[in-house]
Amino acid sequence: MSQNARQTDFFDRVQVITESYLTRRRRLQRVKKEKRQAKNPVVDWIEAFLWAAGMVLLINQYLVQAYRIPSGSMIDTLNIGDHVFVNKIVYGPELLPGILKLSSPIKPKRNDIIIFENPSYISKGPVFDIAQRVIYMLTVSIVDIDREVTGEPRVHFLIKRAVGVVGDRFVMENGDMKIKFAGEDRWVDESDYVRRRGWKHNISRIMKQEQYKALAAAGQEAAFVDLGLPMSAELTSAAADARSLRAPDFIALEKARLETLKRLTPHDKRYTTLLARHRLGWYIPEGRVFPMGDNRDNSRDGRYFGSVKISRVLGKGMIIYWPYWRAGGIK
């Protein structure tokens, strides 16, 4: 066979194969189109919804999730009703909601805005937890089925600022925090440290420093009541001013109560032990982080439940996306 004949035979074969492929492709497209046209529109809508829902779940579970801020504990950084996106992958995502969190080389750093499981939350069971989180994610944080009998949402997650990392120690003095960093022997005022670092967030306070005198009197009054001892009219009058406080510093109040109990009953070592936390402060052990709200007088945080396991930290705050006039990065 000549060279020209071989070339002609080759191109004929290519043409036959191409025509066969295109014919088969057109046939499959026609069959697919006919099936789509014959499909019930309701079934078609359900399939589209399930596909979209699956994509939303994948994105929310492993990449970015929407949350709504339920309280004022982070004012002015985050206000009540703000809708935020949280980076779920940075600290390692969970394989399933509430189940088996993957590790990550990136750990929460000081000053990060973190979201974590509320240590005080009492679960209704794994099935309910998964259902609640799936519905919450599908509705972009609009629908939350996990509610109290009063109708208020149960606080499953908290969003706070990581103010302490491994080796840090903290004490509170009249609502202001002092930090002793790992390896150092001096206390540093948090406000001075924040200013030197150039961080822009505000540490909001509701109580004024001059109100702590009345709060100390209220703590002393509580101690007298605990021991069943009579009180002077002067102490009662001074403590009365604390009852009108909008957001009293309960930690300072408890410290004043314990100091009075210790002074009145020096033989009872319980109060010395309880008072040690207030004098020695909070220590952050390995594998944990210490969260606090920026609105210090209206935040239930690490001062009440202690440091949080890093394995319970689910993500890092990224941006506020609603309301639109507050849209922007979270700092």
pLDDT > 60? residue 215: yes
Q: What is the CATH number of domain 63-205+284-329?
A: 2.10.109.10
The answer to whether 297 and 304 are in contact (CB under 8 A) is no
Q: Break the chain into its structural domains and give their ranges.
A: 63-205+284-329, 209-276
pLDDT > 90? residue 161: yes
- The one-character DSSP state at 204 is B
Could you tell me which of 255, 300, 311 has the C-alpha nearest to residue 281? 255
pLDDT > 70? residue 10: no
Could you give the CA distance from residue 226 to residue 241 in angstroms, rounded to a whole number? 20
Which tokens sit at 292?
């606090």
Q: Is 233 helix (H, G, I), strand (E, B) or coil?
A: helix
Could you give the CA distance from residue 186 to residue 169 in angstroms, rounded to a whole number? 11
Residues 269-289 have pLDDT tens digits of: 899 999 988 888 889 999 999
Residues 288-300 have pLDDT tens digits of: 999 999 999 889 9
Could you give the CA distance from residue 185 to residue 178 in angstroms, rounded to a whole number? 12
Q: Which helix (H) or strand (E) holds 65?
A: strand 64-68
Phi-psi region of 9 (alpha: psi -120 to 50; beta: other; left: phi over 0): alpha
Could you tell me which of 272, 256, 257, 252 has the C-alpha nearest to residue 173? 252
Could you give the CA distance from residue 78 to residue 71 in angstroms, rounded to a whole number? 9
Question: For position 4, what pLDDT does the model report?
Answer: 57
Question: For position 86, what pLDDT does the model report?
Answer: 94
DSSP alpha helix (H) spans, 144-249 = 190-197, 212-227, 233-240
Q: Is 157 helix (H, G, I), strand (E, B) or coil?
A: strand
Give 132's pLDDT tier (boundaries 50, 70, 90).
confident
The pTM of this model reads: 0.79
Could you give the CA distance from residue 195 to residue 108 in angstroms, rounded to a whole number? 21
Name residue 116's beta-bridge partners.
Answer: 158, 313
Could you give the CA distance from residue 139 to residue 144 in angstroms, rounded to a whole number? 9
Question: For position 255, what pLDDT does the model report?
Answer: 93
What letter represents residue 310's amino acid? I
The answer to whether 282 and 298 are in contact (CB under 8 A) is no
Could you give the CA distance from residue 274 to residue 235 in angstroms, rounded to a whole number? 24
